[in-house]
Amino acid sequence: MTSLPKSTDTTLGLVIDLDTCVGCHACVVSCKEWNTSAYGAPLADLDPYGASPEGSFLNRVHTYEAQPEAGPAQTVHFPRSCLHCADAPCVTVCPTGASYKRVEDGIVLVNESDCIGCGLCAWACPYGAREMDPVEKVMKKCTLCVDRISNTHLDEADRQPACVRACPAGARHFGDLSDPESTVFQLVEARGGMALMPEQGTKPVNRYLPPRAKDAADPRPLDPLIPEATDGAGGFFGWLDRTLDRF
């Protein structure tokens, strides 16, 4: 079995703002594109437009409707990928050492040439963050785009994970969560960033910023505009006004 480092030099990870995420899936598409054409074995896509599509994705977005104790219901978009846990069970269960955690930055990776496709790491991960590639028959997972963030030939703005670079809403943030001066650390402190399922004891690095409470929606937001649009109006608006007056 593989051992974990006692500590890491830095703790790179993601902070995801659930209040800002609009569920556009730009992070999913950019992740798929980058990790298919760059690092490691490509991510499979079998029969993508057929009756039985199958493939691998390292990042997914789930959408839920949440009902808080007070206020209106909210739609929450929840991106999910590897959390690069400090006490990663996917690493310690690996029989070949293919899964490992880097000392320099805490990123959890898979050495695909050593992976035998046994699936033990997927069983051990409580977050469902690992996927067996149906073509390559090796385990795939988020790498935080190690081939981007350490590539000095890229512009500084591009030296971050593809999902962060692609997010149009600025909902994804990347940095060192062990550095009190970093933007991600300060975001977690200011907004009460949450660890996913802390009861599992895996000490996930990534954090989620909770959605802010929403004001109650106005049930008739267009009422102030109706007289202006319909008083003495002809055509469609006049017909609509006369029709609604009958009720």
Instruction: Return the closest-CA partner of residue 81 out of 155, 183, 152, 167.
Output: 167
| Contact indicator for 19, 212 with CB cutoff of 8 Å | yes
Residue 216 has pLDDT above 90, yes or no: no
Task: Write out pLDDT tens, residues 140-151.
Answer: 999 999 999 999
| pLDDT tens digits for range 161-212 | 999 999 999 999 999 999 999 999 999 999 999 999 999 999 999 999 998 8
Sorted by where each starts, the structural domains of the chain and their CATH numbers stand as 12-209 (3.30.70.20), 217-247 (no CATH)
Chain CA centroid to CA 88, Å: 18
Token digits for 15?
A: 């902070």
